[in-house]
Structures are given as C-alpha cells and as structure tokens.
Amino acid sequence: MMTGKEYRESIRRLKPEIYYLGEKIDNVADHPAFLPHVNAAALTYDMAQAPEFEELLTAKSHLTGQKINRFTHIHHSHDDLVKKVKMLRALGQQTGSCFQRCVGFDGLNSVYSITYDIDQKMGTDYHKRLVNVLKEIQSKDLMVSGAMTDVKGNRRLSPSQQKDPDLFVHVAEKKKDGIVVRGAKAHITGGVNSHGHLVMPTSAMKAEDADYAVAFYVPIDAPGVVHIFGRQTNDTRKCNCFMDQGNVDYGIVGGEALIIFDNVFIPWEHVFMCGEYEFAYELVERFATAHRQNYGGCKTGLADVLVGATYALSQVQGTDRASHIRDKLVEMAHLTETLYCCSIACSCQGYALPAGSYMADPLLANVTKLNVTRHVYEIARLAQDIAGGILATAPSELDWKDPKVGKYVEKYLKGVEGVPTETRLRLLRLIEGMTCGTALVESMHGAGSPQAQRIMIERQANLERKKRLAEKLAKIGEQPLLVC
C-alpha cells in the first residue's frame, strides 16, 4: 500500500493534460487549486497506515491474499459492505470534504460483477481482463476515478439519435489490438488527481446504441485524454487566502472535471464491455446502488463536522444555552444519524452476485441517497439559521489583518468574552464552505439526481404486493385467510 507521500509523488510523475481557468496545468500535486483535493485523497492512503483506522481502511485481497487499501477491494460479505460505510464516515470526519476514491471503488465492484455475467452469457473474456487490471490496481494501490455520466446533449434523444454522435462516449473504431473511443464524461470526481479512469456507460442502451455500450480503463495521461477542471464556489480563495477557505486543508468538494476522450486508443486488455448493450442498464444499476449506498457514510462524516462547527459557533456567539438552538442542534444530529441508518441498513440487506461479490440492497440504497438530497440541505439550513446573517457578511481575512481596519473587525465581530474574534471567523468560514454553494449541489446530484432514485424506488417498491396486502385486510375480492 502507498502512503500519502508516495501517492503525491506518484501523481507528480504523471503527465496528464489538464486545463483550469484558461491555463494548462503542469503540476496538479502542488498547485493551490488542486491541493485540497490531493490532500483529501492522500488521507485515504495515510489513514490505511494508521492503527486507529486500518481495520476499516484495509482489506485482504480475494485475488492475492495481500493486505490492500479497501478502496481497491471487491466486497465479499455483508461485513465488507458495512465496513465501507463506516470507513466513509471516518474519512468524512477527518476531511470535512469529499475524498474522491469511492467512485472508482464502486465502479470496480460493478464492472467486476457485470463482466462475469457478460462472460457467462456471451462467452467473452472481459472478467479475466478486469481481474488482471484489478490486480495491478491493488498491488500498486492506484487511485481510479469512476467516469459514468455522459454530457448527453438533447435529453429527449438516445445516444444514437443525437445529431452529434460524440455526446455519449462511444467506440469510434475497432482495431485488431484495441478500440478508439470518442466523447466526454462530466462531473468526474478526483478526475485530475487519479492515476486512471474507469469509464462506464451512462444509461440503458438499445441495439442501435451498441457502440455506446462500452466500458474500459485508461491511464490519466493516455494520449487524447483531456481534462477541464470545474469551477467551485469561492475557488480563488485557494490562491489568495488562508483562513477564508474555511476548510483550509481539504476544500469543499471532490474536485470535479470534464474529461474529453479525443480519439483515445484503448487496448483490448483494458476493455470490459464493447457492444453488449443489454448489460448496460444492469451495470448502471449496480454502480448507482453501490454509490448511493455511500452517501449515508461520507455525508454523515461531513455532517458530524458541521454539527460540531455549529455548536462551537453557538458557544462563541453566546447562543448555545437557548432552548431553540439546542433543539436545532439535536435535529441536525437526528437527521445525520437517520442518513447513517439508511446506509447501514442497505449494507446489511445486501446480497451476493453470481461473481461472488456483494452489492447493497438497491431499494434501501436509493432511499439513502434520496434522503441525502433533502436531509443534507436541512442540516445546512439549520446550521445557517444558528450561525446568523454574519455567515454571509463577515469581512475578509485580508481586512481582519489590515493594519488600519483590522482593529475594527477584531473589536466589532467579537463574540463572548475570552474567545478571540479569529475563532468566530474561522468557524463561520468553515460553515460557509460546507453549506453555501458547490458543496450542497454535490448532495443533490452526486450519484444521480433525485428523480433517478425515484425511478429505481418505483421499480423496487413492489406496489402490487402492497395492494394485495391492503385488499386482503379490506376483504376485497377472494383473498386467502392465512398470511403468505
């Protein structure tokens, strides 16, 4: 397993093509715009080495028997599924932000099981290829981004109906030794500071979309892979401020990028699906389930930090003894633990797939994520309520440090006696970063938008059986007397 330091050195050696604010970026590992994301990812390596966390952050490879970072592991039990959630909460508590490695983790688990199923039906050898790549990922402890969401163009049209064929990633050419792919994937978390990308189809496909049913692994610096890093709320604070960043070390989100595949060659040994359109939906559902399972883990870790920051701020501002403040803090904790309950439940109700790997219960995983789209907003709303309007109006760190007006900021923004104004400002900035802007949108659309969860919940809800239960008790029609 790598240490955080070794991870940083490993990405310094890579030469990916990355653009941000109109400039080409040559060194992601040390650039202030990317450093918080690199720091958060590095912690997934360092915590695996720490005795306090190794039980959660490490696992035994079912392929080699070696001790590996859990982010490269394939779940083989309920215990693995539960430990995943607990690991994410522990990491969220330490970073207060996204640590990025779960997407590739979920992608590997999904592709692992689906390649097995494809091979069983089609006689292909995708699973063997995936296992070979997985062994390398495990032994080198690589960070892999999961790239699923296509840019999609006109949402009314399927991939093959789009006027521009490149609006979904597709096979542009088949060669003897591999394929050439073209298209783009959006919102890719950890997209600029991973070692490689695991690319998967974005939705169900029909026969006419077969060229779009493609899954593959590609190193981040393969020729033709272009990354455009996304803007974040207050992102220039990373370059000219310290305290005003709030979460100084780890930032506010995972660091998302638009990844363009401009005629990228993928050797066959890195291709895991190529035209098997009938498996695209199942792959998407397994990935979505795995990823939605996470959100009551990582987001509860973040919420723990936010609850703590809000409580601390109420003490600094002298509102902590007011009954309505205590009640709101309790509500924040209640919502946090509700999300955690969901993630633990869907893990405990998970099951084995034909490949021998385990996945969480799809219905409960989707309920988890749908709750996140609401509860995280409510937790943030309560934090903002308790913090007060100063959350949006506090002077900058530069004015607080200014020789002329700094004394006014110090004097007039002070809270209770004995606590420096700086403490109040730091807490406000942390809460601002966690509740205002980009961070919240991640809870809405990360792992799929709310409607995507509703669709899956409807499919899994078994409304007909529920109707029969009601009809039996209401004596509607001929119903058996005994429970069955």
Q: Which residues bind another protein (CB under 8 A)?
A: 51-56, 83, 86-87, 89-90, 93, 300-301, 304, 340
CA pair distance 147, 137, nearest whole angstrom: 16
Tokens of 51: 């005795």
CA pair distance 75, 421, nearest whole angstrom: 48
Q: Of 295, 311, 340, 358, which one is the catalytic site residue?
A: 295
Q: Of 95, 102, 212, 340, which one is the catalytic site residue?
A: 102
Q: Any catalytic annotation for residue 76?
A: no
Q: Which strand (E) or helix (H) includes residue 258?
A: strand 256-267
Q: Any catalytic annotation for residue 45?
A: no
Q: What letter would DSSP give residue 289? A: H
- Closer residue to another protein, CB minimum distance, 85 or 243: 85
- Answer whether 146's CB lies under 8 Å from 287's CB: yes
Q: Any catalytic annotation for residue 241?
A: no
| Closest distance of CB 302 from another protein, Å | 12
Q: Of 274, 298, 342, 346, which one is the catalytic site residue?
A: 298
| Closest distance of CB 53 from another protein, Å | 5
- Closer residue to another protein, CB minimum distance, 86 or 424: 86
For 221, what's the count of Cα atoms within 13 Å in the CB-facing half-sphere?
A: 13
Q: Measured between alpha carbons, how far apart are the two ends of the chain, in Å?
A: 51
Q: Any catalytic annotation for residue 471?
A: no
Q: Any catalytic annotation for residue 291?
A: yes
| Closest distance of CB 94 from another protein, Å | 10
Tokens of 73: 């592991």
| Closest distance of CB 327 from another protein, Å | 22
| Closest distance of CB 57 from another protein, Å | 8
CA pair distance 308, 326, nearest whole angstrom: 12
Q: Of 58, 72, 124, 189, which one is the catalytic site residue?
A: 189
**441: Cβ contacts below 8 Å, ≥ 6 apart:** none
CA pair distance 64, 226, nearest whole angstrom: 34
Q: Any catalytic annotation for residue 295?
A: yes
| Closest distance of CB 310 from another protein, Å | 18
**What order of strands is seen across the sheet that includes strand 17-20?**
23-25, 17-20, 225-229, 256-267, 178-189, 170-174
Measured over all CA atoms, what is the biggest interatomic distance in the chain, rounded to whole angstroms? 85
Give me the sign of the Cα torsion angle 225, 250, 148, 266: positive
Q: Any catalytic annotation for residue 484?
A: no
Q: Of 73, 98, 212, 421, which one is the catalytic site residue?
A: 98
- Closer residue to another protein, CB minimum distance, 58 or 373: 58
Q: How far is CA 114 from the centre of its chain?
A: 21
- Closer residue to another protein, CB minimum distance, 297 or 446: 297
**191: Cβ contacts below 8 Å, ≥ 6 apart:** 145, 147, 197, 227, 229, 255, 256, 257, 259
CA pair distance 295, 368, nearest whole angstrom: 7
- Closer residue to another protein, CB minimum distance, 105 or 229: 105
| Closest distance of CB 433 from another protein, Å | 22
- Closer residue to another protein, CB minimum distance, 251 or 301: 301
Q: Any catalytic annotation for residue 112?
A: no
- Closer residue to another protein, CB minimum distance, 47 or 431: 47
CA pair distance 269, 414, nearest whole angstrom: 62
Catalytically active residues are: 98, 102, 189, 256, 291, 295, 298, 442
